[in-house]
Structure 1
Amino acid sequence: MVFYLGIDAGGSHCRARLVDAAGAVLGTGESGPANARIGIERLHAVLAETAEQAVRAAGLSGGAQIQAGMGIAGISRLGIRDQLAALDFPFASVAFETDAVIANIGAHLGGDGATLIIGTGSVAQVRVEGRRFAIGGYGFPISDEGSGAALGLSAMRHALRALDGRTSRTPLSSAVTERFGHDTARAIAWMDAATPRDYAAFAPLVVEYAEAGDAIARSIVEDAALHIERFIETIFERGAPACALAGGLAPRMKPWLRARTVARLREPLGDPLDGALLLAGLPVAVLGPRP
């Protein structure tokens, strides 16, 4: 019997889902960050650990025939795919793509359409008449507009300006600097080693204060919403027949979009792990018809 393993490896966490040929879920796994930035050896370890959790939960033996599909953030970087291909995985086959690609495959069950992912980072993945391409997603801090990391970076900038008196203190700035004892030196020391995930951890706080009426928090979230809307406009300008939102921050940002923008969006038909399973070779008919 053939089994299918899907892995979604992103900037904040790595998830796995193992199913049988009928699509029944047999086991799952979850670990920490698993993007290309963490280094190939560490990435391999996280992928292997997450996969092993799912296989162990399913009670499968080492001889089970498993076809794997993995969507990994950051593998478009030079040389990463070759390094991944050289790794040893105990599966019958392994297919690699970016996390954006599997999200889009899952959202449209392999059909044409686009997915805008708003999570730790941001990127749009598009499929038009069988041709695939990405918009944005060049990495933090040069890109990732509208993302959790971008919200956190803006919050830190505001907080530090408020500490030295260049702007007024607000509840958001106080909440951010409180984590560093309102000490600029401690904040700078944190920034020296901070990852996109670390910045993105401030995103829920920014949205909460924006919803509560904090002026600076609102301006940060509204600016992020403008970037998201421009993403969506570009997606349709490039010929996509439909667009879905994905990513952990998407539900929090959707209420900040204009009604006419929201009206153009479509609910995903599946999730990124569905996309990874389809990448692994699971027949699309198991999950549902193409749109």
Structure 2
Amino acid sequence: MAYFLGIDAGGSHCRSRLVDERGTILGTGESGPANTRIGIERLHAVLSEVVQQAISAAGLDAAQAATIRAGMGIAGITRTGMREQLAALPFPFADIIFATDAAIANLGAHAGAEGATLIIGTGSIAEVRVGTTSFAIGGYGFPISDEGSGAALGLSAMRHALRALDGRSEVTALSHAVTAGFGHDTARAVAWMDAATPKDYAAFAPLVMDYAENNDAIARSIVEDAAQHIERFIETIFARGAVRCALAGGLAMRIKPWLRARTVARLTDAIADPLDGALLLAGLSASALPTRKTHVD
């Protein structure tokens, strides 16, 4: 029996999926943030946790676990020296291949064929494969990048809320809801921001979407601005040679109705999800992939 393990390590969650050569799911795992920004030791701990969860659920012994071929897509792996640090970590596998979380999302979305995937989750990044060449667009990290993402929505909401507290802009239902968590106290909000992570800002994204869908003027403007960034992402993806483009990420389906109809018409549905992409990276045959809904961070 051959075993394949896929891991999708993103800014909000880390997930694992263990399958046999037929693609039958034997075990899964889930934990918290696992991008490289949390530090190599903590990252190793999270990865090890979801690995062990999947192996335990599958009931594999140490000898069987040692035969696993693993593929891991990790957010932030392109940071200088990170691949080398990851390669030096102890994992009990026969083989392991590392890639970005965007790369595995794109592998899954097109079942290993060429195409592009725009991930809109905690952050945002496009992964494009044209022929045998793969490259990323965006994804340079929050707050300088990640346009149209959950973190970007949350940051814009916080900016508006603080201006509203100052009296520099109109108080809306959205601003009131954001500052309510800080007792409408600017000092408490600033203290929160001193330690806030992209995931913390992205936690406001569902709130922003809720109020935008209920016609809060500021929320609508925030979401419309995000949609414009996503539109530009998609235009660039096709301009750079992609033959198809799929959306992925926790925010993707919610932001899709805010895109122009002609943009949506150019998009295709993902064939499989990022964990399936990680399994392809590990060596699983594309013929073993079932169709699953796409969800990444």
The structural deviation recorded for 1:286 is 1.5
- The counterpart of 2:214, out of the listed 212, 224, 227, is 212
Give the Cα–Cα distance (whole angstroms) in 2 for the partners of residues 214 and 93 of structure 1.
51
Q: What is the TM-score when the length of structure 1 is the normalising length?
A: 0.98
Structure 2 gap segments, 5+ residues each: 292-297
Q: Secondary structure at the match of 2:158?
A: helix
Q: What is the TM-score when the length of structure 2 is the normalising length?
A: 0.96
Instruction: After TM superposition, list the pairs within 5 Å mapping 1:1-291 onto structure 2.
Output: 1-64=1-64, 65-287=67-289
Q: Secondary structure at the match of 1:8?
A: strand
Give the Cα–Cα distance (whole angstroms) in 2 for the partners of residues 45 and 9 of structure 1.
12
Give the Cα–Cα distance (whole angstroms) in 2 for the partners of residues 279 and 160 of structure 1.
45
Amino acid at match of 1:280: A
Amino acid at match of 1:202: F
Amino acid at match of 2:156: S
The structural deviation recorded for 1:2 is 1.4
Q: Secondary structure at the match of 1:15?
A: strand
Give the Cα–Cα distance (whole angstroms) in 2 for the partners of residues 236 and 125 of structure 1.
12
The structural deviation recorded for 1:207 is 0.4
Give the Cα–Cα distance (whole angstroms) in 2 for the partners of residues 208 and 22 of structure 1.
41
The answer (yes or no) to whether the contact 2:23–2:290 under 8 Å persists in 1 is no
Give the Cα–Cα distance (whole angstroms) in 2 for the partners of residues 250 and 222 of structure 1.
14
Deviations 1:18-54 (A, max 9, x none): 0001100000000000000000000000000001000
Give the Cα–Cα distance (whole angstroms) in 2 for the partners of residues 219 and 137 of structure 1.
23
Deviations 1:34-85 (A, max 9, x none): 0000000000000000010001000011111111000000000000000000
Give the Cα–Cα distance (whole angstroms) in 2 for the partners of residues 18 and 167 of structure 1.
51
Give the Cα–Cα distance (whole angstroms) in 1 for the partners of residues 165 and 116 of structure 2.
42
The answer (yes or no) to whether the contact 1:109–1:288 under 8 Å persists in 2 is no
The structural deviation recorded for 1:284 is 1.4
Amino acid at match of 1:94: I
Aligned residues, how many? 289
Deviations 1:209-266 (A, max 9, x none): 0000000000000000000000000000000000000000001100100000000000
The answer (yes or no) to whether the contact 1:113–1:128 under 8 Å persists in 2 is yes
The structural deviation recorded for 1:288 is 6.9
- The Cα RMSD (Å) is 0.9
Structure 1 gap segments, 5+ residues each: none
The answer (yes or no) to whether the contact 2:7–2:16 under 8 Å persists in 1 is yes
Q: Secondary structure at the match of 2:63?
A: coil
Give the Cα–Cα distance (whole angstroms) in 1 for the partners of residues 51 and 228 of structure 2.
38
Q: Secondary structure at the match of 1:63?
A: helix
The structural deviation recorded for 1:287 is 1.8
Amino acid at match of 1:194: A
Amino acid at match of 1:66: I
Deviations 1:173-220 (A, max 9, x none): 000000000000000000000000000000000000000000000000
Amino acid at match of 1:85: A
The answer (yes or no) to whether the contact 2:272–2:290 under 8 Å persists in 1 is no
Give the Cα–Cα distance (whole angstroms) in 1 for the partners of residues 183 and 91 of structure 2.
45
The structural deviation recorded for 1:285 is 1.9
Q: Secondary structure at the match of 1:29?
A: strand
Amino acid at match of 1:279: L
Stretches of 4+ aligned residues off by more than 4 angstroms: none
Identity %: 75
